[in-house]
Chains A and B, each alone.
Chain A
Amino acid sequence: MAEGLGWWGVPLAIVAGTMRGGTPFLFVSLGECLTEKSGKINLGLEGTLLTGAMTAYGTSYLTGSPWLGILAAGLAGLVLGSIHGWLSQQYRVNDVAVGIAMIIFGSGIAFFFGKPFIQPSAPQLPTLNLAGSAVSPAVEAALQISPLFLLGIALAPLMTWFFKSTRWGLYVRAVGDSPDAARAMGVSIFKVRMLSIMAGSFLAGIGGAALSLYYPGVWTERISSGQGLMAVALVIFARWNPIMCLWASLLFGGAQALGPALQSVGIKQGYYLFNAAPYVLTLLIMILTCSPKRTLAGVPGALGIDN
Chain B
Amino acid sequence: MTTVSSLTPALHLDHPPDLQVNGMTKRFGSLVALENLSMRLKPGSFHALLGENGAGKSTLVKCVMGFYQPTAGEVLIDGHSAQISNPRDAHRYGIGMVYQHFTSVPAMTVAENLVLSRFGGGGVINWKAELEELQAFMSSSPFQVPLETPIAQLAAGQKQKLEILKQIYLHSRILILDEPTSVLTPAEADEVLGLLRQQVSAGELSVLMISHKFREVTAFADEITVLRKGKFAGSGQVSQLTVADMAEMMMGEQKTPTPVQKNSQPNAVPVLEVRQLSAQKDNGTAAVSGLDLTVYSGEIVGIAGISGNGQRELVEVLAGQRVASAGEVWVNGEQYNATRAEMYRHQVFSLPEEPLRNACVGHMSVAENMALRTFDRPPQAKGILLILQAIRQTAVGLISQFSVKTPSPETPVQNLSGGNVQRAVLARELSAEQIKLLIAANPCFGLDFAAVDFIHTQILNARNRGVAVLLVSEDLDELLKLSDRLIVISGGQFTYQSPTATAEYTAIGHAMAGH
| Chain A residues close to B by CB (< 8 Å) | 164-168, 170-171, 173-174, 177-178, 180-186, 292-295, 298, 300-301, 306
The answer to the question of B236 belonging to the interface, with a C-beta cut-off of 8 Å to chain A, is no
Please name all residues of chain A whose beta carbon is closer than 8 Å to the beta carbon of B192 when the two chains form the complex: none
The answer to the question of B185 belonging to the interface, with a C-beta cut-off of 8 Å to chain A, is no
Please name all residues of chain A whose beta carbon is closer than 8 Å to the beta carbon of B102 when the two chains form the complex: 181
The answer to the question of B125 belonging to the interface, with a C-beta cut-off of 8 Å to chain A, is yes
Q: What distance in Å separates the Cβ of A99 from its nearest Cβ neighbour in chain B?
A: 20
Please name all residues of chain A whose beta carbon is closer than 8 Å to the beta carbon of B282 when the two chains form the complex: 294-295
Q: Are B103 and A184 in contact (CB under 8 A)?
A: yes
A interface footprint on B72-106 (CB within 8 Å = 1, 0 otherwise): 00000000000000111101000001010111111
Neighbour of B112 across the interface among A170, A178, A300, CB < 8 A = A170
Closest residue on chain B to residue A181 by CB atoms: B103
Please name all residues of chain A whose beta carbon is closer than 8 Å to the beta carbon of B378 when the two chains form the complex: none
The answer to the question of B107 belonging to the interface, with a C-beta cut-off of 8 Å to chain A, is yes
Please name all residues of chain B whose beta carbon is closer than 8 Å to the beta carbon of A168 when the two chains form the complex: 123
Q: What distance in Å separates the Cβ of B168 from its nearest Cβ neighbour in chain A?
A: 16
Please name all residues of chain B whose beta carbon is closer than 8 Å to the beta carbon of A293 when the two chains form the complex: 280, 322-323
**Which of B113-121, B216-224, B381-389 is the interface stretch?**
B113-121
Q: Are B105 and A174 in contact (CB under 8 A)?
A: yes
Closest residue on chain A to residue B96 by CB atoms: A184
Please name all residues of chain A whose beta carbon is closer than 8 Å to the beta carbon of B115 when the two chains form the complex: 170
A298 CA to B86 CA, complexed, in Å: 29
Neighbour of B117 across the interface among A173, A185, A292, CB < 8 A = A185
A45 CA to B88 CA, complexed, in Å: 34
Please name all residues of chain B whose beta carbon is closer than 8 Å to the beta carbon of A306 when the two chains form the complex: 363
A171 CA to B108 CA, complexed, in Å: 11
* Residue of A174, A186, A294, A306 with highest tally of chain B CB at under 10 A: A186
Q: Are A173 and B108 in contact (CB under 8 A)?
A: yes
Q: Are A177 and B124 in contact (CB under 8 A)?
A: no
Q: Are B104 and A167 in contact (CB under 8 A)?
A: no
* Residue of B105, B108, B124, B282 with highest tally of chain A CB at under 10 A: B105
Instruction: Name 28 interchain pairs, CB-CB below 8 A, sorted by A.
Output: A164-B127, A166-B125, A167-B122, A167-B123, A168-B123, A170-B108, A170-B116, A173-B105, A173-B107, A174-B108, A174-B116, A177-B106, A177-B108, A178-B103, A178-B106, A181-B103, A181-B104, A182-B105, A184-B67, A184-B99, A185-B88, A185-B119, A186-B88, A186-B89, A292-B323, A293-B280, A295-B282, A301-B107
Neighbour of A183 across the interface among B87, B108, B363, CB < 8 A = B87
The answer to the question of B29 belonging to the interface, with a C-beta cut-off of 8 Å to chain A, is no
The answer to the question of B259 belonging to the interface, with a C-beta cut-off of 8 Å to chain A, is no
Neighbour of A298 across the interface among B107, B125, B322, CB < 8 A = B107
Q: Are A180 and B125 in contact (CB under 8 A)?
A: no
Please name all residues of chain A whose beta carbon is closer than 8 Å to the beta carbon of B97 when the two chains form the complex: 184
Neighbour of B123 across the interface among A164, A166, A181, CB < 8 A = A166
Q: Are A300 and B86 in contact (CB under 8 A)?
A: no
Closest residue on chain A to residue B108 by CB atoms: A173
Closest residue on chain A to residue B322 by CB atoms: A293
A186 CA to B122 CA, complexed, in Å: 16
Q: What distance in Å separates the Cβ of A235 from its nearest Cβ neighbour in chain B?
A: 15
The answer to the question of B284 belonging to the interface, with a C-beta cut-off of 8 Å to chain A, is yes
Q: Are B106 and A165 in contact (CB under 8 A)?
A: no
Neighbour of B105 across the interface among A165, A178, A186, CB < 8 A = A178
Please name all residues of chain A whose beta carbon is closer than 8 Å to the beta carbon of B127 when the two chains form the complex: 164-165
A186-B119, A294-B284 known; A165 and B107 CB under 8 Å? no
A306 CA to B361 CA, complexed, in Å: 13
Closest residue on chain A to residue B363 by CB atoms: A306
A186 CA to B3 CA, complexed, in Å: 12
Neighbour of A166 across the interface among B89, B117, B124, CB < 8 A = B124
A301 CA to B105 CA, complexed, in Å: 9
Q: Are B124 and A165 in contact (CB under 8 A)?
A: yes
Neighbour of B103 across the interface among A165, A180, A295, CB < 8 A = A180
* Residue of B99, B103, B115 with highest tally of chain A CB at under 10 A: B103
A180 CA to B123 CA, complexed, in Å: 22
Please name all residues of chain B whose beta carbon is closer than 8 Å to the beta carbon of A177 when the two chains form the complex: 105-108
A209 CA to B39 CA, complexed, in Å: 61
Please name all residues of chain B whose beta carbon is closer than 8 Å to the beta carbon of A301 when the two chains form the complex: 106-107
Please name all residues of chain B whose beta carbon is closer than 8 Å to the beta carbon of A174 when the two chains form the complex: 105, 108, 116
Q: Are B323 and A183 in contact (CB under 8 A)?
A: no
Q: What distance in Å separates the Cβ of A105 from its nearest Cβ neighbour in chain B?
A: 27
Q: What distance in Å separates the Cβ of B55 from its nearest Cβ neighbour in chain A?
A: 21
Q: What distance in Å separates the Cβ of B484 from its nearest Cβ neighbour in chain A?
A: 34
Q: What distance in Å separates the Cβ of A2 from its nearest Cβ neighbour in chain B?
A: 44
* Residue of A165, A178, A183, A306 with highest tally of chain B CB at under 10 A: A178
Q: What distance in Å separates the Cβ of B363 from its nearest Cβ neighbour in chain A?
A: 8
Q: What distance in Å separates the Cβ of B230 from its nearest Cβ neighbour in chain A?
A: 23
A180 CA to B78 CA, complexed, in Å: 29
Please name all residues of chain B whose beta carbon is closer than 8 Å to the beta carbon of A178 when the two chains form the complex: 103-106
Please name all residues of chain B whose beta carbon is closer than 8 Å to the beta carbon of A181 when the two chains form the complex: 102-105
Q: Are B86 and A186 in contact (CB under 8 A)?
A: yes
A88 CA to B232 CA, complexed, in Å: 40
Q: Are B106 and A186 in contact (CB under 8 A)?
A: no
Please name all residues of chain A whose beta carbon is closer than 8 Å to the beta carbon of B99 when the two chains form the complex: 180, 184
A184-B87, A186-B86, A186-B88 known; A300 and B103 CB under 8 Å? no
Closest residue on chain A to residue B362 by CB atoms: A305
Please name all residues of chain A whose beta carbon is closer than 8 Å to the beta carbon of B67 when the two chains form the complex: 183-184
Q: What distance in Å separates the Cβ of A57 from its nearest Cβ neighbour in chain B?
A: 36
Q: What distance in Å separates the Cβ of A195 from its nearest Cβ neighbour in chain B?
A: 11
Q: Are A167 and B284 in contact (CB under 8 A)?
A: no
Please name all residues of chain B whose beta carbon is closer than 8 Å to the beta carbon of A170 when the two chains form the complex: 108, 112, 115-116, 125
* Residue of B99, B107, B280 with highest tally of chain A CB at under 10 A: B107
* Residue of A174, A180, A181, A292 with highest tally of chain B CB at under 10 A: A181
Please name all residues of chain B whose beta carbon is closer than 8 Å to the beta carbon of A292 when the two chains form the complex: 323
A177-B105, A185-B117 known; A167 and B323 CB under 8 Å? no
